[in-house]
Amino acid sequence: MKRKTLLIMLFILLITGIASAEEEKSITGSGEVGLLITTGNSETDSVNAKAGLKYEKGHLLGQIDLAALYSSEEVEEDGEKEDQVSAEKYNYSAKVGYKFNPVSYVFLNADYEDDRFSGYDYKTTYSAGYGRKLIDTDTVKLNIEAGPGYRYDKVEGGDANDEAILRGYAMFNYKFSDSVSFQQDLTVVTGSDNTNTKSVTALKSQILGALSMKAAYTVNHNTDVPADTEKTDTETALTLVYDF
């Protein structure tokens, strides 16, 4: 419990610190914290937290996203109670790009995942490619990205694997009103050994000012996984979001 409380406090401090960039119009960001229910390789109620920054000015763009999940359960062994970790996952991603014009750009992207219950020690993906804003209005936004890359995975207790991959990404956002919006993100990373598909569906509603409530459903599927590991993980989350 202490570790979950510390996780929340660290993200609150991060959000408070980067909120000072609000006056710089080229920088936007968000932070969120809430309850997460997972199924698959870990089935538990957990606390999760996320924070992200986006930079876009002139021909340059950049993005950093951090996410963490931690949960522990009190179990009894030999008549003594102790905390046992039931879910622990960390995600880091960064992207830099160069804009040719307001709707098209090239980019470099890096993703790192450490999920203690996935059967992997880590997963790392590097990719480059072309992105385009197919629709960019106040009501509807549709962005796509595609390009080649390389993936490094290490199975727990096993050897590291690496392979060339193709990465595709699509984001659709629709604003029902000034306070309610829907967003669908889809990422596909495919190689000769494994294809990973991640879908995130979210509905966001403004509560007051920069504070919103978000309900999200995530499906993460791998075609090839280590032994005794589920191919599909799902996450259902209800979080408070602060945008700046």
CATH code (residue 145): 2.40.160.40
Q: Which of 38-47, 70-79, 194-203, 231-240 has the lowest mean pLDDT?
A: 38-47
- Phi, psi dihedral angles at 103 (to 5 degrees): -120, -10
Q: What's the CA gap between 8 and 89, in Å, rounded?
A: 14
Q: What's the chain's Rg over C-alpha atoms?
A: 19
Task: Tell me which amino acid residue 108 is.
Answer: L
The pLDDT, as a whole number, for residue 6 is: 47
Q: Shortest CA distance to 35 belongs to which of 49, 23, 54?
A: 49
pLDDT above 90: percentage of residues in the chain: 50
Q: For the chain, how long is the longest CA-to-CA vector?
A: 66
Count the alpha carbons within 13 Å of 221 in the hemisphere toward its beta carbon: 7
Asked if 189 and 195 count as a contact pair (C-beta separation under 8 A), the reply is yes
**Tally of structural domains, the chain:** 1
- Per-residue pLDDT, averaged over 128-133, amounts to 97
Provide the domain limits for residue 25.
Answer: 2-243
Residue 224's pLDDT is what? 86
Burial (CB < 10 A; 0-12, 13-18, 19+), residue 81, is exposed
Whether 147 contacts 167, CB under 8 Å:
yes
Higher-confidence residue of 178 and 79: namely: 178
Amino acid in position 15: I
Confidence at residue 93, expressed as pLDDT on a 0 to 100 scale: 92
Q: Is 226 in a helix, a strand, or coil? A: coil
Dihedral angle computed from the Cα positions of residues 40, 43, 49 and 54, in that order, rounded to the nearest 10 degrees = 10
1 has a pLDDT exceeding 50: no
Backbone angles phi, psi at 19, to 5 degrees: -65, -20
93: Cβ contacts below 8 Å, ≥ 6 apart? 63, 64, 65, 109, 110, 111, 112
- Among 36-50, 140-154, 172-186, 187-201, where is mean pLDDT lowest? 36-50
Burial of 48 (0-12, 13-18, 19+ CB in 10 A): buried
- Residue with token string 């919006």: 181
